[in-house]
Structure 1
Amino acid sequence: MVQQWTTHLNDQVIGQSKAIKLSTIALLSGGHVLLEDRPGTGKTTLARSLATSVSAAFQRVQCTPDTLPSDILGMELFNPTTGTFERRTGPIFTSILLVDEINRTTPRTQSALLEAMQERQVTLGEVSLRLPDPFFVIATQNPFDGQGTFPLPQAQLDRFLFKLSLAPLSRESERRLLRNEHLSATPFTLQQTELAEMQQAVRDVLFHEAMEDYLLDFVEALRHHRDIEVGPSPRATLAYTMAARAHAYMDGRDYVSPEDIRALALPILGHRIVLTVEASLKTKPSKLIKSVLETIPVPSEV
């Protein structure tokens, strides 16, 4: 089933196998994805293809500077006829939510997503309403056009399991795109019950104590590194364990290996660490993460 799903997505979104695998891992592990790249690279196409490949409710929000929290969450409106307040829920009450160009809306509206992404609930007035299960947010943003944008604060970046960029298309991949091969993708729809079964299988993947020690040694080394001002949070560690389980499941294993942890280091931690001012002038988070990971002893036996 996993193979059919990813094959379908790779036929629809040509040349983005890594981003597709990581996006499906996020959905299976209960995380959220932030796609950051220049315009026209296929961010929205990937998000929409992933959403429509699952038989679940889907909504899209196109963010602009005048988008209000109530445009996403909903509101309570007074009905003068009945003399009561009526609840109107917003597009966030869906299973898969595409938030397009999230950095074009104001911090007030961005923060409206915080409770939903972490707690899986929304508060309207004095009432807290549960969101559907599953609930998956895939947001896009363009990092190159700073005019009229509002960078996401660190607290909200931490809510995203992965921050991804799309790979440059090879000549052959772009030729396939020109020939509209993506329009002839084999039809496939993952039923919601099948998705739930896959998510349960991910939770059942074994995370051995040796792998826990390997992961904890890694994140602690980052937290105490002299060039890192803000290291990974405990939320990041919890997300890491679920993502590693999903990565193992996608590779056909029922246990987590060191390769699962190594493969996910950059997409999980790259947006979660903040370098000191001095370090930011001479290196990048990705290079620092790689160098620290190489110093952690790999468990020889599990």
Structure 2
Amino acid sequence: MQRTVKILGRDRELELIQAALRSGTHTLLEGPPGTGKSTLLRSVAAVQKVPFTFVEGNAELTPARLIGHFDPSQILERGYIPEIFIPGPLIDALTSGGLLYLEEINRIPEETLNVMLTVMSEGEITVPRYGRILAEPGFAIVAAMNPFDGVGVARLSSALYDRTCRIVVNYQSGEVETDIVGLHAPNAPKPWRAKAVEMVRRTRNHGDIMVGSSVRGAIDFTRMAMSLADIRGGTVDDWNVGLDAALVSLSGRIRLYESSARSAEQVITEIYTEIFGRKDEDNQNSSAGDASGETLARQ
């Protein structure tokens, strides 16, 4: 009987990843931040009891950092012998038959990516002065990228796509995201949590926003509101508590179009008002104004 893992709203993606790993295929996960790409792979690796090596992709990830290097303090005294070689994450994954997870692969320098292409094709690597290293059974590379991030990233080559199976990981439904927030903030009222999630989801298709927030924003928004309400001696239903929590949690997570004439705070306030309504004082003043108008009309 094969063991399985469950993650909210990710049954299909889990099946695809497990199938790819069992077939010996290298995989590319594409999706915006906060969609659970790392969680998916870590969970599968844990259930299948496969060694897991995490590497954060950035411009500093050189071939030497990925593969490994000889200890420079030992070279003059002992020479280039295997005992002084310090393996990098790629060698660790190769020799343990584990998973090498490369996050933000489109931020990795081209020369480092070329090393990956060779390993993907041949299942081995030759390290100068060290020798040939073959991949143990189970070794696989899983890379992840955010296709919507255009800052500091490079376009992946067709050669890399040709060596991987591509799995798209999109945002989950509003109901699932509400349940996810509930796992991290179980004491928050579900109706309020649902509104917090709806607010975050609206940041993803707002006319002024180029990049919206992930469900992490909804989690922090809810936690912040709960904490702030406790400090102020109120509840999350307090209009000012919710707005302040939204501004702190979401204003830094969204990225506006350069053509937008508004600030992130203004946009967040607008969305908050659409979801949670206007401040009670404004409604009361409006009602009072209407009543005064009716009185004057009668006179």
AA partner of residue 169 (structure 1): Q
Alignment-derived partner of residue 290 in structure 1: none
Whole-Å separation in 2 of the counterparts to 1:39 and 1:25: 23
8 Å Cα contact 1:73-1:91 kept in structure 2: yes
**Residue matched to 2:157:** 153
Larger displacement relative to structure 2 (87-96 or 27-36):
87-96
Deviations 1:123-172 (A, max 9, x none): 11052111221101111101111111112111111110x21112431232
Q: Partner letter of residue 181 of structure 2? A: L
Residues 1:72 and 2:72 are matched in the alignment: no
Structure 1 pair 84–170 and aligned structure 2 pair: CA distance change class (3 A): closer
Structure 1 residue runs of 5 or longer lacking an equivalent are 184-302
Task: State the distance in 2 between where 1:168 and 1:83 align.
Answer: 52
CA separation of 1:18/1:37 partners in 2, compared to 1, >3 Å: closer, same or farther? same
Note if 1:36 corresponds to 2:30.
yes
Aligned to 1:59: 53
1:112 aligned to 2:106?
Answer: no
The alpha carbon displacement at 1:176 in A equals 2.1
C-alpha RMSD of matched pairs (Å):
1.9
Aligned mate of 1:89, from 87, 90, 93? 87
* Alpha-carbon distance between aligned partners in 1 of 2:19 and 2:182, rounded to the nearest angstrom: 29
**Contact kept in structure 2, 1:102 and 1:140, CA below 8 Å:** yes
TM-score (structure 1 length as normaliser): 0.54
What is the CA distance between 1:74 and its match in structure 2?
Answer: 1.3
- Verify the 8 A CA contact 2:32 2:170 in the aligned structure 1: no
Task: Tell whether the 8 Å contact from 1:36 to 1:141 is kept in structure 2 after alignment.
Answer: yes
Asked whether the equivalents of residues 107 and 152 of structure 2 are also in contact (C-alpha less than 8 Å), the reply is yes
Greater C-alpha radius of gyration: 2
Q: Identity over aligned residues, as a percent? A: 30
**Residue type of the partner of 2:99?**
I
Query: TM-score normalized by structure 2?
Result: 0.55
User: 1:117 is matched by which residue type in structure 2?
Assistant: M
User: How far apart, in 2, do the equivalents of 1:84 and 1:135 lie?
Assistant: 27
Are the counterparts in 2 of residues 35 and 139 from structure 1 also a CA contact under 8 Å? yes
SS in 1 for 2:126: strand
Which amino acid in the other structure matches residue 116 of structure 2?
Answer: L
Q: Is the 8 A contact 1:15 1:167 kept in 2?
A: no
Give the whole-Å Cα distance in 2 for the aligned partners of 1:50 and 1:18: 13
| Residues 177, 128 of structure 1: alpha-carbon distance in 2 compared, 3 angstrom cutoff | same
Question: How far off its partner does 1:21 sit?
Answer: 0.9
SS in structure 1 at match of 2:77: coil
User: Does structure 2 conserve the Cα–Cα contact (< 8 Å) formed by 1:104 and 1:150?
Assistant: yes
Does residue 21 of structure 1 match 2:15? yes
2:167 maps to: 164
Q: 1 or 2 for the larger relative contact order (CA 8 Å, sep ≥6)? A: 1
What CA deviation, in whole Å up to 9, does each residue of 1:236-284 have, x standing for no partner?
A: xxxxxxxxxxxxxxxxxxxxxxxxxxxxxxxxxxxxxxxxxxxxxxxxx
The structure in which a higher percent of residues are helix is 2
Q: Deviations over 1:25-45 (max 9, x none)?
A: 101100011111111111121
Whether the 8 Å contact between 1:75 and 1:124 is mirrored in structure 2 is no
The question of whether the paired residues in 2 share the 8 Å contact of 1:32 and 1:159 is answered with yes
Report how many residues are paired. 175
Code of the aligned partner of 1:91: P
How far apart, CA to CA, are the structure 1 residues paired with 2:77 and 2:132? 26
1:133 is aligned with what amino acid? P
Report how far residue 179 of structure 1 moved: 2.0
SS in 2 for 1:80: helix
